[in-house]
Homo-oligomer: A and B are copies of this chain.
Amino acid sequence: MSNGKITVRRVAELAGVSPATVSRVSRGSTHVDPVLRERVLRVIEEHGYKPSHFGRALAERRHGALGLVFPGLSGPYFAELIQGFEVQALETGDSVLVLASHSRDDTDATVIDLAGRVDGMAIHGGTVSDAALEKLCGMVRVVVMAGDTGPAHASVRVDNSSMRGLTRHLLVDHGYRRLAFVGNPDGSTDVTVRWEAFLAAHKTARRKPPKEPVRVGLQQSDGVIAAKQLLDGDEPPEAVVCANDETALGVMIGAMGRGLKVPDDIAITGFDDMPMASLVNPDLTTVRQPVRELATTTARLLADRSPDPAGAVLLPTEIVLRGSCGCRDGGGG
């Protein structure tokens, strides 16, 4: 009925009490005479009074909202991330403001603006410039996820070093010679670290350094593009190490489309262990990372109003050996 336009003072008037009492009742806090409380509650019920977020936010000096900044979302990874973050935020009664716009240059200004309407911000690695990040830390509580750790902000990330063990597995256990890396190390912190771990594994195994990575995005379609580049050229690799499962699936689709057999003709690995990984044939060797936990931990850190400013959480990952690398040949079919 009444367009949500009813205010404390109006309710107070209707119930014959003061605004203060209405506020007390609506917050359910301090002791109020049962008779008055009842009267106020009836008016609230009758007129559908909802306290305005404006006024409340202004008075409480808190927005009741968290910001979430992405590099442009796509794929199951970000879906899981946003969903986990949101569920956790709802838990504490916070709303979620997302910023997934892509253009890097105006993003800084947009991000700063966003900081003005939230109590805390979760920022995905590689999304904002260092200058902007520093400014943000001065404005609101900031948690960087899947990015660099720093002194001014807290961070939550996963242990990407499992990529080292996975690479070692391909080099040593399977004895593959030529490995290719698919993913852009300059694109995100995660990929940077995975690429470095890939390099390190080569060094440890005393192999000559691999070729330059195939610098593509993280979507399935990027995997198909990478496959074209890798498989149609001279000297295709024996194994393709992908920055995530999405691109690995894309590479696999590209390989199969060319009549190649996985893993006999070419081995492929991913990173994430998303649902599809265990459903393809052969099923995908990958690294399991706790994406949802990454999101919920971040949200929890932001909602937590404790004084400590920073801290670095590192979530464990686990290598999952399946058919696509050559283990259990023949796959799951």
Residues of A within 8 A of B (CB): 1, 3-4, 50, 52-55, 57-58, 63, 65, 72-76, 78-79, 82-83, 86-87, 90, 95-102, 110, 114, 116-117, 138-139, 219-221, 224-225, 250, 253-254, 256-258, 275-276, 279-281, 331, 333
Contacts and interface: CB of A to CB of B under 8 A. Distances in A.
Given A73-B79, A221-B275, A98 B98 contact: yes
A257 B275 contact: no
Nearest to A74: B79
A69 B246 CA distance: 26
A296 to B, nearest CB: 13
Given A116-B4, A117-B95, A276-B220, A102 B83 contact: yes
Nearest to A278: B221
Contacts of A79: 73-75, 78-79
A83 B72 contact: yes
B58 A116 contact: no
A97 B97 contact: yes
Contact of A139 (B3, B55, B86): B3
Contact of A101 (B86, B99, B225): B86
B101 A83 contact: yes
Contacts of A57: 54, 57
Contacts of A279: 221, 224-225, 250, 253-254
A73 B65 contact: no
A54 B58 contact: yes
Given A74-B76, A79-B79, A257-B280, 5 more contacts: A4-B116, A78-B79, A86-B101, A96-B97, A257-B281
A323 to B, nearest CB: 11
Contacts of A54: 54, 57-58, 63
Contacts of A75: 75-76, 79
Contacts of A99: 86, 96
Contacts of A82: 73, 98, 100
Nearest to A259: B333
Contacts of A76: 74-75, 219
A170 B319 CA distance: 44
B280 A116 contact: no
A87 to B, nearest CB: 6
A110 B74 CA distance: 25
A250 B221 CA distance: 14
B102 A276 contact: no
B95 A83 contact: no
Nearest to A98: B98
Contact of A98 (B74, B86, B280): B86
A199 B63 CA distance: 50
A87 B220 CA distance: 23
Contacts of A74: 76, 79
